[in-house]
Amino acid sequence: MRQFISVWLMTLLVGTVAIGSGESATAADDYDYDLVHSSVSFKARHLGISWIHGRFNDVAGKFSLDREDPSKSTFELTIKVDSVDTANKARDEHLRQPDYFDTKQYPTIEFKSTSTKVIKGGFEVTGDFTMHGTTKKVTLVLMGGKEHDFKKVKRVAFSTELSLKRSDFGFDKNAIGPIGDEALIIIDCEGVRNS
């Protein structure tokens, strides 16, 4: 009888834990970065008078949106620097060299959120931004976040811009030259909910 009660109590405990964890899993929706409908582009000043535009073609990421407790939402993005594309092959090759991105040493640019809060029209996400081997805390203002069902697949999109100085991330000042130190990264990200 005592053994039966212990087994019954154990079953009840395990069941409660399983239901509890199941509830927390369903509270947040997990999304994968949709490469087809997203873009990570950048622009940098040329001679201080115009802008050079480029983009990264190979990006991956995921985010988890918790509508009940948005502070538990998380965002991650990984950019393969080798995929840099400025519509000029010679310049792209030059940008991959150690004088600039040093893609053999630092193959990725990464962002990983550490805190999230809701703002009007989106989220303010603070996290670790790693580029060229240097990690700095940055805050992204993600605008958007509305859900859209398309062919029974839930999608969410965000847009943000990040201004940074290349010299803050260990880029050689001697190599900055006519291309300005400051660069603007523009992220338009559409996420597809994991089924």
Partner 1 sequence: MPDPLLYLKAMGAAGIVSMTFVPAMVRARPRAGRTWLNSVCVIGFGLGLAAGCCVLSLRLRWPPANGLDRLLMIVVPAVLGIEFIAGIQRVPQWAAWLLRLTLAATIPAILLHGSIYLSGHDDEWPLWRAGVVMAVCSALLAGVWSLLAWLSRRSAGVSMSLTLCLATQCAGLTVMMAGYIGGGTAAFPLVGALIATSIGARLTLPFVGVPTSFVAPAIPGIGVVGLFGLIFIGCFFGRLPTGSAVVMLLAPLLCWISEAPQLRHQKGWLIGMLRLVLVAIPLVAVVVVAKHDFDRGMAPLLEAEHE
Nearer to partner 1, 69 or 93 (CB): 93
Chain centroid, CA 82 distance in Å: 17
Q: Are 108 and 102 within 8 A, CB to CB? A: no
Q: How far is the CB of 115 from partner 1 (least distance, A)?
A: 28
Residue 153 phi, psi (nearest 5): -115, 125
Contacts for 137 with CB less than 8 Å, ≥ 6 apart: 114, 126, 127, 128, 129
Nearer to partner 1, 156 or 183 (CB): 183
Tell me which residue of 177, 44, 64, 61 sits closest to 123, measured CA to CA. Answer: 64
Residue type, 131: M
Q: How far is the CB of 101 from partner 1 (least distance, A)?
A: 11
Nearer to partner 1, 135 or 194 (CB): 135
Q: How far is the CB of 12 from partner 1 (least distance, A)?
A: 45
Q: How far is the CB of 135 from partner 1 (least distance, A)?
A: 13
Residue 3 phi, psi (nearest 5): -65, -40
Q: How far is the CB of 159 from partner 1 (least distance, A)?
A: 30
Nearer to partner 1, 78 or 126 (CB): 78
Contacts for 26 with CB less than 8 Å, ≥ 6 apart: none
Tell me which residue of 144, 137, 148, 143 sits closest to 114, measured CA to CA. Answer: 137
Nearer to partner 1, 102 or 190 (CB): 102
Residues that bind partner 1 (CB under 8 A): 46, 88, 90-91, 93-94, 97-99, 102-105, 107, 133, 170, 172-175, 177-179
